[in-house]
Every structure is written in C-alpha cells, then in structure tokens.
C-alpha cells in the first residue's frame, strides 16, 4: 500500500490530481490515491470509533479526509474519510516552478464588504446580549471561470508559496474539492505525545519593512488580540486535560508570520493517559475550537449561522489523516477554497470580541484571502 519509490515532496505535489488527497507540511508530504472504502458519519466521535476497525479489516495503513465545520447534533454535513489504495510519503519542502493560472470572468463578494462590516457590528452587540466571549465571522469570494478550474496548479502554487503551512487537498461529497494552505495545526499525535499549535489574533503583513514590524508589535501588545487568543487556549487546555496526564502550556503566545499575516500562537504539548486514544478521537473532541467558531461553542455557532449568508460545510473544518497505530495530524481547514467544475468559493474569517472594529475585521479577511489569491496570481481581486 505504501509507495516504495524515493519521492520528494515536489514529486508528490506534482503528482496530485483531482480525486487524490494531499497533505504537505514544512518537512514532509503525504499523497493518497484511489479508494478502498469511504466512511461518512455526521457524528465525529462515532466516525473516530469506526475507523480503527475499518483499517484492521482492510489492512490499510491509514485513512485520510475531512470533518465539517458544524459537528453539532443537528448537522447534515458528514465527516468524510477515505481508506486509500496507495499512500506515498516523502520528507523535505516542496520546490516547484510557479504555475500560471487563468483569470476569472466574474468575482462576487458574499456578503459585500459593507454587509460584512454590518454583521461584525451585529456580532459585537450579540456577544453581550447572549453572554458570548467570542464569535468568528467569515465572508467569501465567488470566482467563475470559462474553463474548468485547474485545481492541481492551484495546489502546487500553494505548496511552493507557503512552505511553513499545511497545504491540503481533499475530495468532498458531490464532486467538489477543498484546497488550501493553513498555518494552524489542530493536533498531532505521535505515540503518547500530543501537540497542538493554536493560532488566534491576527494582523496583516506589509511590503514596507518598517510598517510590517510595527504591525507585528501592535499585534503582540494588542489587548483585544491577547484576549481573543486566551479564549482559544483556555478552551484547548480544558478539552485536552481529560485525555492527558501532563500538559505543557507556555505562559503567553509567540509571534509568528505567514507570507500574508502576523499571528499569535501558543504551542501546547501533552502526554496521553490512554494510548488507545487516536488522533481522530482527539480531533473529534477538540473541533471546532474558538479559533474558528467562538465560545461558548453552541451559542457562537448559532450566531455564525444567523449572520453568515452561506453554509460553511467543510470550510473551517479539520483535515488530515490517522493511521492504524492511532498516530496522525489534523489541521484547521482555513485559507481555503471550495472548487467545483468552473467555479470556486474562497473563504476568510476573523474572531469577533467586544473590542472588535468592523473596518479592521474587514481588512483582516482581505489579508487572509491573499493566501489563495496569491497562489492564483490575483493579489488585487479582494
């Protein structure tokens, strides 16, 4: 089932075709092809409990796939995992020539920028009225093309342009695909060690070095962003605590960068109390975090669904893999686009707290669109 050839990350990214699953990190890549079995389930905990038996029955080394944003009891969008026929792995950072992509014939913001700012204002008011600490609001860009969207070329450009991200491509039900390059690792399980790298709190990068440094410093000292970040860390620590006999949580976040965004990040490391808890068990327990939903989860999710004029489906879900030993990696499915035949929808969101400013929140989503738009040569579209 595993590939015997000494493929490089560039080879695997270059081999990706629609229908495959690709997951590249800063140091390695995984390409899964073909399908032995597809497993879908709206309850992620049920899905996690089924997969070990499926892997044992098929003799496959791992399963790959994606969980939706909404994992609540009323969701109709299932987790979608595939047991692949062939798995290729490699180590190193992909290095490929940049590919040229066609320009869209139509671009539409959903909602409009003004409507998104109105939604931010409504969310700020609702936080106090509903006793919420945070909610995450997203907006979308719909792009239409004359010809089929070249998903393979977009994925390769994402992997090359964002080497420290988790670049991913996963097939969805209904013939769609979700592709993206996320900076955020939900969790990694290796033996008894669990590692999570939550991001919350953002500031756009600038081409001017002085402005860029100032933006980073402003983020580091921002009370609003520190609060937004603390909400996420509190949630993850409490969610991980029942599974871990030890947890190492730094006293404060660190500044990290992507090509488009400054972020606050806190790396969390734990030791599992029960070695039978798999990476997918943990993903099902942690997702969705306040970084992409808000808190308390149920109230924040309700507010998001009221204010956003679209269903998220798999945007802001969790994408990754779990193997027969229970090890695996799951990343937060952001900085992404859902691709149909001749159209695609890009998503970008931001955390709303009491101190949020509508214009700043709009600017943050605009900066986050740049991950996909840059990969497509469309930096000025948003």
Spans of all domains in the chain: 9-94+103-375
- pLDDT for residue 3: 47
Measured distance CA(199)–CA(262) in Å, rounded:
10
- pLDDT for residue 4: 40
Catalytic residue chosen out of the listed positions 171, 184, 308, 338? 184
The model carries a pTM of 0.93
Task: Classify burial at 136, counting beta carbons within 10 Å of its beta carbon; exposed 0-12, middle 13-18, buried 19 or more.
Answer: buried
- pLDDT for residue 119: 98
Q: Extract the residue ranges of the chain whose pLDDT is less than 50.
A: 1, 3-4
Catalytic site residue 338?
no
Which contiguous run of DSSP H or E holds residue 136? strand 134-144
Domain 9-94+103-375 of CATH type 3.60.120.10: yes
- pLDDT for residue 93: 63
Catalytic residue chosen out of the listed positions 41, 76, 129, 134? 134
Measured distance CA(195)–CA(272) in Å, rounded:
10
343: number of Cβ within 10 Å? 16
Distant-in-sequence, close-in-space partners of 357: CB < 8 Å, separation ≥ 6: none
Mind listing the pLDDT tens digit for each residue in 23-60? 998 778 999 999 999 999 999 999 999 999 999 999 99
Measured distance CA(255)–CA(180) in Å, rounded:
22
Distant-in-sequence, close-in-space partners of 155: CB < 8 Å, separation ≥ 6: 13, 16, 22, 167, 169, 179
- pLDDT for residue 145: 96
Measured distance CA(366)–CA(306) in Å, rounded:
22
Catalytic site residue 184?
yes
């Amino acid at each position: 089932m595993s590939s015997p050839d000494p493929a490089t990350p560039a080879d695997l990214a270059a081999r990706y075709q629609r229908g495959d699953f690709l997951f590249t990190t800063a140091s390695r890549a995984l390409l899964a092809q073909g399908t032995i079995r597809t497993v879908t389930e709206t309850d992620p905990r049920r899905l996690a409990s089924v997969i070990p038996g499926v892997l044992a029955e098929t003799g496959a080394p791992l399963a790959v796939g994606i969980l939706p944003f909404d994992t609540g009891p009323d969701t109709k969008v299932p987790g979608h995992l595939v047991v692949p026929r062939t798995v290729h792995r490699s180590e190193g950072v992909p290095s490929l020539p940049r590919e040229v992509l066609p320009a869209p014939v139509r671009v539409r913001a959903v909602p409009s920028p003004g409507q998104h700012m109105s939604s931010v204002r409504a969310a700020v008011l609702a936080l106090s009225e509903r006793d919420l600490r945070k909610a995450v609001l997203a907006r979308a860009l719909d792009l239409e093309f004359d010809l089929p969207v070249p998903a393979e070329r977009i994925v390769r450009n994402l992997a090359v342009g964002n080497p420290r991200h988790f670049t991913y491509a996963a097939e969805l039900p209904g013939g769609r695909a979700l592709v993206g390059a996320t900076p955020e690792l939900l969790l990694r399980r290796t033996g008894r060690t669990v590692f999570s790298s939550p991001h919350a709190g953002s500031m756009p990068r600038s081409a001017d070095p002085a402005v860029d440094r100032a933006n980073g410093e402003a983020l580091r000292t921002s009370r609003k962003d520190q609060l937004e970040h603390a909400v996420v860390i509190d949630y993850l620590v409490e969610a991980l605590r029942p599974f871990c006999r030890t947890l190492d949580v730094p006293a404060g976040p660190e500044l990290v960068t992507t090509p488009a965004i400054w972020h606050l990040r806190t790396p969390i490391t734990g030791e599992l109390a029960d070695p039978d808890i798999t990476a997918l068990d943990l993903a099902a327990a942690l997702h969705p975090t306040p970084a992409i939903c808000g808190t308390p989860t149920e109230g924040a999710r309700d507010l998001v669904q009221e204010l956003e004029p679209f269903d998220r489906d798999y945007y802001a879900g969790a994408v990754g893999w779990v193997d027969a030993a229970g090890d695996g990696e799951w990343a937060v499915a952001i900085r992404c686009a859902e691709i149909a035949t001749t159209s695609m929808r890009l998503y970008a969101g931001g955390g709303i707290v009491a101190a949020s400013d509508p214009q700043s929140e709009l600017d943050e989503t605009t900066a986050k669109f740049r991950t996909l738009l840059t990969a497509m040569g469309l930096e000025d579209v948003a």
